[in-house]
Chain A
Amino acid sequence: MEIALAMTLIALGIAATLAIIRATLGPTSFDRVLAVNAVGSIAVLLIAVYGFFDGRPAFLDIAMLYALINFIGTIAILKFFRFGTLGDHVLHEDEEDA
C-alpha cells in the first residue's frame, strides 16, 4: 500500500511540474490561470495522499482548505483581469452587457 501511495505521489509531482511549465510558458494570461488552477487541484490531491502516506489524517483538513482557497483565488484573478479592480466596478458599468 505504501508503494502505491508513493507512486501516486511521484505521479502527482510530475503532473504538477508539467502544469508549472505551462504556467511559465503560457502565451495568454488565461493559460496561466488555467495552469495555476490545475496546480492547485494537484496540490490538494498531493496533500491528501501525503497525509495517507505519512499516517497523519489531519492533512485532509489542510487539503480541504486549499481547495476552497484555490477556487476563490481563481475567481478573484479572473475578476481582476476583467474589471481591473476587485471591488468597485461601478466605473466600468458600460461593460456589463454580457
Chain B
Amino acid sequence: MSATDIMQFIGIASLLIGSLAVIFGALGLLRLGDVYQRMHGAGIVDTGGAGLILFGLLMLSPDWTVTVRLILIGFILVMTGPTATHAIARAVRLSDQEPDNLKAKKNSERGRG
C-alpha cells in the first residue's frame, strides 16, 4: 500500500463522512423547531460538511493548482460562513423574536426546571 493509496482512502472516507454530515445538517435545517435551532443545522452544513468534503477533495487532488484552489475555497467558506450566520442571528434578535424554550419558560409560571 503506497502513500497515494493511503491518501485516496483517507479522501474517500472523509468525502463519505462529509456527505453524511451535510445530510444531517440539512435534516436539522428542515426538522428543528425554531430559527435559532435551525441555525445549528446550517452550522453543521457549513463546518462539518464543507470542511470534510473539501478535505476529502484535497486528498484526491491530482495537481498542486487544484490544491491551492481548494484551500482558497475552504478559506473563503471559513471566513464568510460564520459571518453570514452571525448576521442572520443578529437580525433575528433585533426583530424581537424569542427562542422557543425561553418563551415556554416565561409563559409557565411554575417552571418545571
Interface string of B74-109 (1 = CB under 8 A from A): 001100110111011001101101000000000000
B50 in contact with A41 (CB, 8 Å): yes
A60 in contact with B66 (CB, 8 Å): yes
Shortest distance between the CB of B71 and any CB in chain A (Å)? 10
- Taking the complex as formed, is B30 at the interface, i.e. its CB lies under 8 A from any CB of chain A? yes
Interface string of A9-21 (1 = CB under 8 A from B): 0011011101101
Interface string of A66-98 (1 = CB under 8 A from B): 011011001100100110000000000000001
Shortest distance between the CB of B13 and any CB in chain A (Å)? 9
Cβ-defined partner of A34 (8 Å) among B8, B18, B42, B94:
B42
B35 in contact with A16 (CB, 8 Å): no
Interface string of B53-87 (1 = CB under 8 A from A): 11011001011011001101100110011011101
A63 in contact with B29 (CB, 8 Å): no
Interface residues on A, range: 35 or more
A61 in contact with B8 (CB, 8 Å): no
Cβ-defined partner of A64 (8 Å) among B15, B56, B73:
B73
Interface string of B27-38 (1 = CB under 8 A from A): 101100001001
List, in ascending order, chain A residues with CB within 8 A of B73's CB.
44, 48, 60, 63-64, 67
Shortest distance between the CB of B48 and any CB in chain A (Å)? 11
Question: 5 A-B contacts, Cβ less than 8 Å apart?
Answer: A18-B23, A18-B29, A30-B92, A34-B85, A71-B76
Q: Which A residues are within 8 Å of any B CB, using their own CB? A: 1, 4-5, 7-8, 11-12, 14-16, 18-19, 21-22, 28, 30-31, 33-35, 37-38, 41-42, 44-45, 48-49, 52, 57, 60-61, 63-64, 67-68, 70-71, 74-75, 78, 81-82, 98
